[in-house]
């Protein structure tokens, strides 16, 4: 009896001390094709599952990744996203992919993906990419990990860390970004800070960035 209690206690401790997995939870069924159903109330990974018997090949298929996506004004990049919203069969599978095209000097600004690690593969052009990791010895500093990459090069960005991609070449560049989440999420750092609704108090931004309030107001105008 005492041995049984010991094994049970050890199992519980191991469960709570085990490292967290940095990807979507494992599914409990083979198929969970996302479907819009206003009458349903049970969500799996934020989506409602279609009856597996009604699943079809098109649920696991998407086309068009061979072309540029929607352009982002002023930044010189376009994104073509294949996630659970475009391919319903991705629901619960913990994976998605994005094609990004950058014009010369095109930039994907500082941003994070709160739910996924990102693996980028350069298909064309020359990309300067990097991420910032907190400095364990000084929370007010960070370490920059960056590379200038060419076709065939691969770079990984750990989950949740601030990162960027910048076209340093003289021609258009294309990369594929793979994520270990069906919905990685994205937080654009500059616009999140300076275009919040309602706005953050001037005092908070001025003191946090050590800038004059006039500069803060100018930044707000640029991101509004």
Residues 6 or more apart whose CB falls under 8 angstroms from that of 69 comprise 78, 79, 80, 81, 99, 100, 101
Residue 218 marked in a binding site:
no
> How far, in Å, CA of 118 to CA of 202, rounded?
34
Burial group, residue 7, by CB count within 10 angstroms (0-12, 13-18, 19+): exposed
Residue 163 marked in a binding site:
yes
Measured CA angle at 172 (ends 167, 177), to 5 deg: 65
Residue 170 marked in a binding site:
no
Question: Which residues belong to the annotated binding site?
Answer: 111, 113, 118, 163
Question: Which residues belong to the annotated binding site for Mn(2+)?
Answer: 111, 113, 118, 163
Question: Which residues belong to the annotated binding site for oxalate?
Answer: 113, 118
């Amino acid at each position: 009896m005492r041995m049984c209690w010991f094994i049970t206690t050890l199992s519980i401790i191991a469960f709570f001390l085990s490292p967290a997995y940095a990807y979507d939870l494992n599914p409990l069924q083979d198929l969970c094709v996302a479907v819009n159903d206003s009458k349903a109330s049970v969500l799996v990974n934020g989506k409602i599952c279609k009856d597996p018997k009604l699943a079809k090949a098109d649920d696991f298929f998407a086309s068009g990744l061979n072309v540029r996506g929607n352009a982002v004004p002023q930044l010189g990049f376009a994104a073509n996203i294949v996630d659970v919203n475009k391919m319903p069969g991705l629901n619960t599978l913990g994976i998605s992919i994005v094609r990004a095209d950058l014009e010369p000097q095109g930039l994907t600004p500082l941003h994070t993906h709160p739910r996924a690690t990102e693996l980028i593969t350069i298909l064309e052009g020359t990309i300067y990419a990097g991420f910032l990791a907190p400095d364990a010895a000084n929370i007010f500093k960070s370490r920059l990990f960056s590379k200038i990459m060419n076709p065939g090069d691969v770079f990984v960005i750990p989950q949740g860390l601030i990162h960027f991609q910048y076209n340093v070449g003289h021609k258009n560049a294309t990369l594929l970004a793979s994520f270990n989440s069906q919905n990685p999420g994205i937080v654009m750092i500059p616009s999140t800070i300076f275009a919040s609704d309602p706005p953050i108090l001037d005092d908070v931004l001025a003191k946090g960035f050590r800038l004059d309030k006039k500069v803060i107001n100018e930044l707000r105008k640029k991101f509004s």
